Amino acid sequence: MTDFDSDISFSDDFDIAPVRLTVDLGALADNWRTMAKRSGNARTAAVVKADAYGLGLEDCGTALYEAGARDFFVAVMQEGVTLRTYAPDARIFVLSGIWPGQEGLFYEHGLVPVLASEEQLAFWMSVTAELGDHPCALHVDTGFNRLGLPLEEAIAFADDVSRPASFSPVLVISHLHSGDSPSSDLNQRQLEAFRRVAEAFEGIETSFAASAGIFLGSDYHFDLTRPGIALYGGEAVNGVPNPMKPVAAAEARIIQIRDAKKGETVSYGGTYQLARDSRLAIVSAGYADGYLRSLSGSGVPVRQTVKDGAFGFVAGHKVPVIGRITMDLTIFDVTDIPEDHVHAGDYVELFGRNVPLDDIARAGGTIGYELLTGLGLRYERRYIYPDD
Protein backbone atom coordinates (compact mmCIF):
# COMPACT_ATOMS: atom_id res chain seq x y z
CA MET A 1 0.00 0.00 0.00
CA THR A 2 1.25 3.49 -0.81
CA ASP A 3 0.06 7.08 -0.69
CA PHE A 4 1.99 7.89 -3.85
CA ASP A 5 0.38 8.39 -7.24
CA SER A 6 1.79 5.75 -9.58
CA ASP A 7 1.50 7.94 -12.70
CA ILE A 8 4.81 9.34 -13.88
CA SER A 9 4.71 13.14 -14.04
CA PHE A 10 7.05 16.09 -14.22
CA SER A 11 6.66 18.74 -11.53
CA ASP A 12 8.13 22.10 -10.72
CA ASP A 13 11.19 21.73 -8.46
CA PHE A 14 9.44 23.69 -5.71
CA ASP A 15 6.52 21.26 -5.69
CA ILE A 16 8.73 18.26 -5.00
CA ALA A 17 11.55 19.78 -2.93
CA PRO A 18 12.40 18.06 0.37
CA VAL A 19 12.65 21.49 2.01
CA ARG A 20 11.41 24.72 0.51
CA LEU A 21 11.30 28.40 1.35
CA THR A 22 8.74 30.96 0.19
CA VAL A 23 9.79 34.61 0.38
CA ASP A 24 7.03 37.20 0.05
CA LEU A 25 8.74 40.22 -1.47
CA GLY A 26 5.52 42.22 -1.32
CA ALA A 27 5.46 41.78 2.46
CA LEU A 28 9.13 42.74 2.59
CA ALA A 29 8.43 45.97 0.71
CA ASP A 30 5.42 46.70 2.92
CA ASN A 31 7.56 46.20 6.02
CA TRP A 32 10.12 48.69 4.68
CA ARG A 33 7.36 51.22 4.06
CA THR A 34 6.05 50.64 7.59
CA MET A 35 9.47 51.31 9.06
CA ALA A 36 9.87 54.38 6.83
CA LYS A 37 6.60 55.74 8.17
CA ARG A 38 7.68 55.05 11.76
CA SER A 39 10.97 56.82 11.05
CA GLY A 40 9.14 60.14 10.68
CA ASN A 41 11.37 62.83 9.17
CA ALA A 42 14.41 60.54 8.96
CA ARG A 43 15.26 58.75 5.74
CA THR A 44 15.08 54.97 5.93
CA ALA A 45 17.81 52.62 4.79
CA ALA A 46 17.65 48.84 4.43
CA VAL A 47 20.06 46.42 6.07
CA VAL A 48 20.67 43.48 3.73
CA LYS A 49 23.74 41.86 5.27
CA ALA A 50 24.11 38.08 5.55
CA ASP A 51 22.40 37.48 2.20
CA ALA A 52 19.47 39.69 3.26
CA TYR A 53 19.17 37.80 6.56
CA GLY A 54 19.29 34.50 4.72
CA LEU A 55 16.47 35.29 2.27
CA GLY A 56 18.46 36.23 -0.83
CA LEU A 57 20.38 39.46 -1.44
CA GLU A 58 19.56 39.80 -5.12
CA ASP A 59 15.78 39.41 -4.88
CA CYS A 60 15.37 41.17 -1.54
CA GLY A 61 17.72 43.98 -2.52
CA THR A 62 15.80 44.55 -5.74
CA ALA A 63 12.44 44.58 -3.95
CA LEU A 64 13.68 47.05 -1.34
CA TYR A 65 15.21 49.29 -4.00
CA GLU A 66 11.96 49.27 -5.96
CA ALA A 67 10.07 50.08 -2.74
CA GLY A 68 12.15 53.25 -2.42
CA ALA A 69 15.25 52.40 -0.37
CA ARG A 70 18.30 54.35 -1.55
CA ASP A 71 20.63 53.65 1.36
CA PHE A 72 21.75 50.10 2.10
CA PHE A 73 23.98 48.51 4.71
CA VAL A 74 25.95 45.30 4.15
CA ALA A 75 28.47 43.58 6.39
CA VAL A 76 31.31 42.91 3.96
CA MET A 77 32.60 44.28 0.69
CA GLN A 78 31.58 41.24 -1.40
CA GLU A 79 27.93 41.80 -0.43
CA GLY A 80 28.20 45.40 -1.58
CA VAL A 81 29.67 44.40 -4.93
CA THR A 82 26.77 42.00 -5.50
CA LEU A 83 24.15 44.51 -4.40
CA ARG A 84 25.44 47.26 -6.68
CA THR A 85 23.98 45.44 -9.72
CA TYR A 86 20.49 45.59 -8.19
CA ALA A 87 20.69 49.05 -6.61
CA PRO A 88 22.51 51.09 -9.26
CA ASP A 89 22.33 54.56 -7.73
CA ALA A 90 22.02 53.69 -4.03
CA ARG A 91 24.54 54.47 -1.32
CA ILE A 92 25.93 51.15 -0.09
CA PHE A 93 27.66 51.23 3.29
CA VAL A 94 30.03 48.41 4.28
CA LEU A 95 29.87 47.96 8.05
CA SER A 96 33.15 46.07 8.43
CA GLY A 97 35.06 48.93 6.83
CA ILE A 98 37.97 48.41 4.47
CA TRP A 99 41.19 46.45 4.40
CA PRO A 100 44.34 46.82 2.25
CA GLY A 101 43.78 45.34 -1.17
CA GLN A 102 40.06 46.19 -1.27
CA GLU A 103 40.33 49.86 -2.16
CA GLY A 104 40.06 49.34 -5.92
CA LEU A 105 36.70 47.58 -5.61
CA PHE A 106 35.37 50.21 -3.20
CA TYR A 107 36.11 52.91 -5.78
CA GLU A 108 34.97 50.83 -8.76
CA HIS A 109 31.60 49.94 -7.25
CA GLY A 110 31.02 53.14 -5.33
CA LEU A 111 30.96 51.46 -1.91
CA VAL A 112 31.17 53.50 1.28
CA PRO A 113 33.41 52.03 4.00
CA VAL A 114 32.25 52.48 7.58
CA LEU A 115 35.51 53.18 9.40
CA ALA A 116 35.57 51.79 12.93
CA SER A 117 39.15 52.04 14.20
CA GLU A 118 42.22 54.24 14.17
CA GLU A 119 43.92 51.72 11.88
CA GLN A 120 41.11 51.94 9.34
CA LEU A 121 41.11 55.72 9.56
CA ALA A 122 44.84 55.93 8.89
CA PHE A 123 44.61 53.49 6.00
CA TRP A 124 41.65 55.32 4.46
CA MET A 125 43.47 58.65 4.61
CA SER A 126 46.39 57.12 2.74
CA VAL A 127 44.00 55.71 0.14
CA THR A 128 42.24 59.01 -0.52
CA ALA A 129 45.59 60.81 -0.67
CA GLU A 130 46.61 58.47 -3.49
CA LEU A 131 43.32 57.78 -5.30
CA GLY A 132 41.35 60.97 -4.60
CA ASP A 133 38.28 61.85 -2.59
CA HIS A 134 35.72 59.14 -1.93
CA PRO A 135 32.88 59.10 0.63
CA CYS A 136 33.23 57.20 3.89
CA ALA A 137 31.29 56.84 7.11
CA LEU A 138 32.52 56.84 10.69
CA HIS A 139 31.40 54.42 13.41
CA VAL A 140 31.57 55.66 16.99
CA ASP A 141 31.18 53.38 20.01
CA THR A 142 28.68 54.82 22.50
CA GLY A 143 28.75 51.91 24.93
CA PHE A 144 28.46 48.69 22.94
CA ASN A 145 32.18 47.82 23.15
CA ARG A 146 32.01 46.19 19.77
CA LEU A 147 33.00 48.21 16.68
CA GLY A 148 33.69 51.91 16.65
CA LEU A 149 36.07 54.64 17.69
CA PRO A 150 35.95 55.34 21.42
CA LEU A 151 33.64 58.26 22.15
CA GLU A 152 36.20 60.75 23.39
CA GLU A 153 38.65 59.91 20.62
CA ALA A 154 35.96 60.46 18.00
CA ILE A 155 34.98 63.82 19.45
CA ALA A 156 38.63 64.87 19.60
CA PHE A 157 39.06 63.76 15.99
CA ALA A 158 36.10 65.92 14.94
CA ASP A 159 37.87 68.98 16.38
CA ASP A 160 41.32 68.08 15.03
CA VAL A 161 42.37 70.97 12.76
CA SER A 162 45.07 68.75 11.24
CA ARG A 163 42.47 66.35 9.88
CA PRO A 164 43.10 66.00 6.12
CA ALA A 165 40.69 67.88 3.88
CA SER A 166 40.33 64.71 1.80
CA PHE A 167 38.71 62.96 4.77
CA SER A 168 35.04 63.68 4.17
CA PRO A 169 32.60 61.38 6.01
CA VAL A 170 29.05 61.51 4.72
CA LEU A 171 27.61 59.72 7.76
CA VAL A 172 28.43 59.11 11.43
CA ILE A 173 26.79 56.08 13.03
CA SER A 174 26.52 54.25 16.32
CA HIS A 175 24.49 51.26 17.47
CA LEU A 176 22.20 50.56 20.43
CA HIS A 177 22.96 47.44 22.45
CA SER A 178 19.64 47.31 24.37
CA GLY A 179 17.17 48.85 21.95
CA ASP A 180 15.06 45.69 22.08
CA SER A 181 14.42 46.43 25.78
CA PRO A 182 12.61 49.79 25.77
CA SER A 183 12.65 50.15 29.56
CA SER A 184 16.44 49.90 29.81
CA ASP A 185 18.12 53.03 31.16
CA LEU A 186 21.11 52.18 28.99
CA ASN A 187 19.25 53.38 25.90
CA GLN A 188 19.00 56.91 27.26
CA ARG A 189 22.66 56.79 28.29
CA GLN A 190 23.72 55.84 24.77
CA LEU A 191 21.43 58.46 23.27
CA GLU A 192 23.07 61.19 25.33
CA ALA A 193 26.49 59.98 24.19
CA PHE A 194 25.45 59.97 20.54
CA ARG A 195 24.03 63.46 20.83
CA ARG A 196 27.51 64.60 21.81
CA VAL A 197 28.86 62.87 18.71
CA ALA A 198 26.26 64.48 16.47
CA GLU A 199 27.08 67.91 17.88
CA ALA A 200 30.81 67.38 17.36
CA PHE A 201 30.26 66.37 13.72
CA GLU A 202 27.77 69.14 12.99
CA GLY A 203 26.81 69.27 9.33
CA ILE A 204 27.37 65.54 8.78
CA GLU A 205 24.40 63.18 8.69
CA THR A 206 23.93 60.83 11.63
CA SER A 207 22.39 57.37 12.08
CA PHE A 208 21.67 55.66 15.39
CA ALA A 209 18.51 53.54 15.17
CA ALA A 210 18.25 50.04 13.76
CA SER A 211 14.88 48.23 13.89
CA ALA A 212 14.50 48.37 17.68
CA GLY A 213 15.69 51.96 17.87
CA ILE A 214 13.04 53.06 15.42
CA PHE A 215 10.37 51.81 17.82
CA LEU A 216 11.94 53.85 20.65
CA GLY A 217 10.69 57.04 19.02
CA SER A 218 11.80 60.17 17.23
CA ASP A 219 14.59 61.07 19.68
CA TYR A 220 16.51 58.08 18.34
CA HIS A 221 15.91 58.61 14.62
CA PHE A 222 18.39 61.36 13.70
CA ASP A 223 18.92 61.65 9.90
CA LEU A 224 18.89 58.03 8.75
CA THR A 225 17.40 54.87 10.28
CA ARG A 226 18.69 51.37 9.55
CA PRO A 227 15.96 48.70 9.88
CA GLY A 228 17.08 45.10 9.52
CA ILE A 229 15.24 42.24 11.23
CA ALA A 230 11.87 44.05 11.13
CA LEU A 231 12.01 44.14 7.33
CA TYR A 232 12.14 40.34 7.25
CA GLY A 233 9.20 39.91 9.63
CA GLY A 234 11.15 39.29 12.82
CA GLU A 235 10.50 40.74 16.26
CA ALA A 236 12.58 43.82 16.98
CA VAL A 237 11.32 44.59 20.50
CA ASN A 238 10.91 42.17 23.39
CA GLY A 239 7.56 41.60 25.03
CA VAL A 240 5.27 43.44 22.62
CA PRO A 241 3.17 42.19 19.69
CA ASN A 242 5.10 42.11 16.45
CA PRO A 243 3.51 44.54 13.94
CA MET A 244 5.51 43.33 10.94
CA LYS A 245 4.21 41.07 8.19
CA PRO A 246 5.76 37.57 7.96
CA VAL A 247 8.06 37.39 4.95
CA ALA A 248 9.53 33.88 4.96
CA ALA A 249 7.85 30.48 5.21
CA ALA A 250 9.94 27.32 5.55
CA GLU A 251 8.40 23.91 4.89
CA ALA A 252 9.60 20.31 4.96
CA ARG A 253 8.09 17.31 3.22
CA ILE A 254 6.76 14.33 5.12
CA ILE A 255 8.75 11.27 4.06
CA GLN A 256 6.84 8.71 6.10
CA ILE A 257 3.98 8.44 8.58
CA ARG A 258 4.45 5.58 10.98
CA ASP A 259 2.52 4.07 13.87
CA ALA A 260 4.24 3.65 17.22
CA LYS A 261 3.06 2.08 20.45
CA LYS A 262 2.66 3.54 23.91
CA GLY A 263 5.89 3.13 25.86
CA GLU A 264 8.16 3.12 22.81
CA THR A 265 10.89 5.75 22.50
CA VAL A 266 11.56 8.20 19.69
CA SER A 267 14.81 9.32 18.01
CA TYR A 268 18.41 9.35 19.23
CA GLY A 269 19.02 8.53 22.85
CA GLY A 270 15.46 7.36 23.42
CA THR A 271 14.85 10.59 25.34
CA TYR A 272 11.14 10.78 24.46
CA GLN A 273 8.80 7.98 25.55
CA LEU A 274 5.34 7.84 24.03
CA ALA A 275 2.48 8.21 26.52
CA ARG A 276 -0.06 6.82 24.03
CA ASP A 277 -0.28 4.94 20.77
CA SER A 278 0.84 7.53 18.25
CA ARG A 279 1.22 8.46 14.60
CA LEU A 280 4.53 10.07 13.76
CA ALA A 281 5.39 12.16 10.70
CA ILE A 282 9.04 11.99 9.70
CA VAL A 283 9.97 15.11 7.72
CA SER A 284 13.01 15.89 5.59
CA ALA A 285 14.52 18.75 7.59
CA GLY A 286 17.11 18.78 10.32
CA TYR A 287 19.89 20.86 11.73
CA ALA A 288 21.74 20.73 8.39
CA ASP A 289 18.84 22.86 7.14
CA GLY A 290 19.11 25.33 10.00
CA TYR A 291 16.31 23.65 11.94
CA LEU A 292 18.34 23.71 15.10
CA ARG A 293 18.96 20.66 17.28
CA SER A 294 18.02 22.84 20.26
CA LEU A 295 14.44 22.90 18.91
CA SER A 296 14.11 19.21 19.82
CA GLY A 297 11.20 18.12 21.96
CA SER A 298 13.52 16.35 24.43
CA GLY A 299 17.09 15.32 25.05
CA VAL A 300 18.73 18.78 24.73
CA PRO A 301 19.84 21.10 27.55
CA VAL A 302 17.52 23.98 26.63
CA ARG A 303 14.50 21.83 27.55
CA GLN A 304 15.55 22.22 31.18
CA THR A 305 14.72 25.94 31.04
CA VAL A 306 12.30 26.19 28.10
CA LYS A 307 9.69 23.48 28.60
CA ASP A 308 8.29 23.02 25.12
CA GLY A 309 10.18 22.32 21.93
CA ALA A 310 9.29 23.53 18.46
CA PHE A 311 6.04 22.84 16.67
CA GLY A 312 4.96 22.73 13.05
CA PHE A 313 1.71 23.24 11.20
CA VAL A 314 0.01 20.83 8.82
CA ALA A 315 -3.58 20.16 7.77
CA GLY A 316 -4.83 23.02 9.91
CA HIS A 317 -3.21 21.73 13.11
CA LYS A 318 -0.22 22.63 15.28
CA VAL A 319 1.95 19.55 15.75
CA PRO A 320 4.83 19.22 18.24
CA VAL A 321 8.37 18.09 17.55
CA ILE A 322 9.10 14.98 19.59
CA GLY A 323 12.48 13.48 20.35
CA ARG A 324 15.78 14.86 19.13
CA ILE A 325 16.08 16.65 15.80
CA THR A 326 18.75 14.98 13.67
CA MET A 327 20.90 16.17 10.80
CA ASP A 328 18.36 15.57 8.03
CA LEU A 329 15.15 14.52 9.79
CA THR A 330 12.65 15.76 12.36
CA ILE A 331 9.73 13.86 13.91
CA PHE A 332 6.34 15.47 14.51
CA ASP A 333 3.45 13.96 16.46
CA VAL A 334 0.39 14.00 14.16
CA THR A 335 -1.78 11.69 16.29
CA ASP A 336 -4.47 14.33 16.80
CA ILE A 337 -4.97 14.93 13.06
CA PRO A 338 -7.58 12.73 11.36
CA GLU A 339 -5.76 9.97 9.55
CA ASP A 340 -7.11 10.89 6.12
CA HIS A 341 -6.07 14.55 6.49
CA VAL A 342 -2.29 14.12 6.46
CA HIS A 343 -0.21 11.93 4.18
CA ALA A 344 3.34 11.21 3.10
CA GLY A 345 4.31 13.90 0.62
CA ASP A 346 2.47 16.69 2.46
CA TYR A 347 4.45 19.64 3.76
CA VAL A 348 4.81 20.72 7.38
CA GLU A 349 5.32 24.45 7.94
CA LEU A 350 8.41 24.93 10.11
CA PHE A 351 7.86 28.67 10.44
CA GLY A 352 5.83 31.18 8.49
CA ARG A 353 2.29 32.53 8.54
CA ASN A 354 0.94 29.90 10.96
CA VAL A 355 4.12 29.33 12.97
CA PRO A 356 5.69 32.64 14.05
CA LEU A 357 9.41 32.76 13.44
CA ASP A 358 10.25 34.11 16.87
CA ASP A 359 8.04 31.61 18.71
CA ILE A 360 10.14 28.86 17.17
CA ALA A 361 13.35 30.72 17.95
CA ARG A 362 12.38 31.00 21.61
CA ALA A 363 11.71 27.26 21.73
CA GLY A 364 15.32 26.76 20.67
CA GLY A 365 16.71 29.28 23.12
CA THR A 366 17.68 31.72 20.39
CA ILE A 367 16.35 34.59 18.25
CA GLY A 368 14.74 34.88 14.83
CA TYR A 369 17.92 36.36 13.37
CA GLU A 370 19.76 33.08 13.91
CA LEU A 371 17.05 30.93 12.34
CA LEU A 372 16.87 33.09 9.21
CA THR A 373 20.59 33.53 8.70
CA GLY A 374 21.21 29.84 9.40
CA LEU A 375 18.99 28.48 6.64
CA GLY A 376 20.88 25.72 4.86
CA LEU A 377 21.66 25.33 1.18
CA ARG A 378 19.03 22.69 0.44
CA TYR A 379 15.92 24.90 0.39
CA GLU A 380 14.26 25.28 -2.98
CA ARG A 381 13.21 28.91 -3.04
CA ARG A 382 10.17 30.63 -4.46
CA TYR A 383 9.85 34.40 -4.51
CA ILE A 384 6.44 36.02 -4.55
CA TYR A 385 6.64 39.42 -6.20
CA PRO A 386 4.33 42.32 -5.31
CA ASP A 387 2.39 41.98 -8.57
CA ASP A 388 1.91 38.19 -8.29
Q: Tell me which residue of 142, 139, 140, 151 sits closest to 75, measured CA to CA.
A: 139
**Whether residue 377 sits in one domain with residue 262:** yes
Q: What pTM value is reported for the model?
A: 0.94
Nearest-5° Cα angle at 72, 220 to 189: 20
- 77-84 vs 57-67: helix crossing angle, rounded to 10: 60
Q: Are strands 248-260 and 278-283 parallel, antiparallel or unpaired?
A: antiparallel
**Whether residue 268 sits in one domain with residue 176:** no
**Whether residue 296 sits in one domain with residue 189:** no
Domain range for 53 is 40-226
User: For position 357, which CATH number holds?
Assistant: 2.40.37.10
**Whether residue 294 sits in one domain with residue 216:** no
Within-domain flag for 241: no
Within-domain flag for 4: no
| Cα gap 166→183, rounded to integer Å | 42
Within-domain flag for 358: yes
Domain boundary among 173, 195, 226: 226
**Whether residue 265 sits in one domain with residue 191:** no
**Whether residue 221 sits in one domain with residue 266:** no
**Domains: count for the chain:** 2
**Whether residue 177 sits in one domain with residue 279:** no
Whether the Cβ atoms of residue 247 and residue 23 lie closer than 8 Å to each other: yes
Q: Residue 371: what pLDDT?
A: 97
Mind telling me the catalytic residues? 49, 268
Coil, strand or helix: which one is 218? helix
Task: Show Cβ contacts of residue 16 under 8 Å, excluding neighbours closer than 6 positions.
Answer: none
Within-domain flag for 105: yes
Whether the Cβ atoms of residue 115 and residue 121 lie closer than 8 Å to each other: yes
Q: Tell me which residue of 218, 194, 189 sits closest to 206, measured CA to CA.
A: 194
| Cα gap 212→143, rounded to integer Å | 16
User: Residue 71 forms beta bridges with which residues?
Assistant: 91
Task: Show Cβ contacts of residue 249 under 8 Å, excluding neighbours closer than 6 positions.
Answer: 21, 22, 24, 349, 351, 352, 353
**Whether residue 303 sits in one domain with residue 347:** yes
Within-domain flag for 6: no
Terminal Cα distance for the chain, rounded: 39
**Whether residue 260 sits in one domain with residue 188:** no
Whether the Cβ atoms of residue 160 and residue 118 lie closer than 8 Å to each other: no
Per-residue pLDDT of the chain (388 residues; tens, 9 = 90+): 445 454 555 568 999 999 999 999 999 999 999 999 999 999 999 999 999 999 999 999 999 999 999 999 999 999 999 999 999 999 999 999 999 999 999 999 999 999 999 999 999 999 999 999 999 999 999 999 999 999 999 999 988 877 777 677 999 999 999 999 999 999 999 999 999 999 999 999 999 999 999 999 999 999 999 999 999 999 999 999 999 999 999 999 999 999 999 999 999 999 999 999 999 999 999 999 999 999 999 999 999 999 999 999 999 999 999 999 999 999 999 999 999 999 999 999 999 999 999 999 999 999 999 999 999 999 999 999 987 6
Q: Are strands 205-207 and 169-173 parallel, antiparallel or unpaired?
A: parallel
- With b meaning 16 or more CB within 10 Å and e meaning fewer, what string describes 198-224? bebbeebbbbbbbbbbbbbeeebbbeb
Q: Rounded to whole angstroms, what are the CA distances from 242 to 15, 63, 64, 388?
A: 30, 22, 20, 25
Within-domain flag for 24: no
**Whether residue 160 sits in one domain with residue 50:** yes
Task: Show Cβ contacts of residue 241 under 8 Å, excluding neighbours closer than 6 positions.
Answer: none
Task: Show Cβ contacts of residue 145 under 8 Å, excluding neighbours closer than 6 positions.
Answer: none
Within-domain flag for 34: no
Coil, strand or helix: which one is 60? helix
Evaluated on CA atoms 199, 113, 56, 325, the torsion sign reads negative
Q: Where are the alpha helices (DSSP H) in the chain?
A: 13-16, 25-38, 49-53, 57-67, 77-84, 103-108, 118-131, 151-158, 185-200, 211-215, 357-363, 368-373
Q: Rounded to whole angstroms, what are the CA distances from 220 to 39, 41, 74, 114, 174?
A: 9, 12, 21, 20, 11
Within-domain flag for 65: yes
**Whether residue 206 sits in one domain with residue 295:** no
For the chain, helix, strand, coil in percent to 5 are 35, 25, 45
- For residues 240, 244, 245, 248, the Cα torsion angle rounded to the nearest 10 degrees is -90
**Whether residue 212 sits in one domain with residue 324:** no
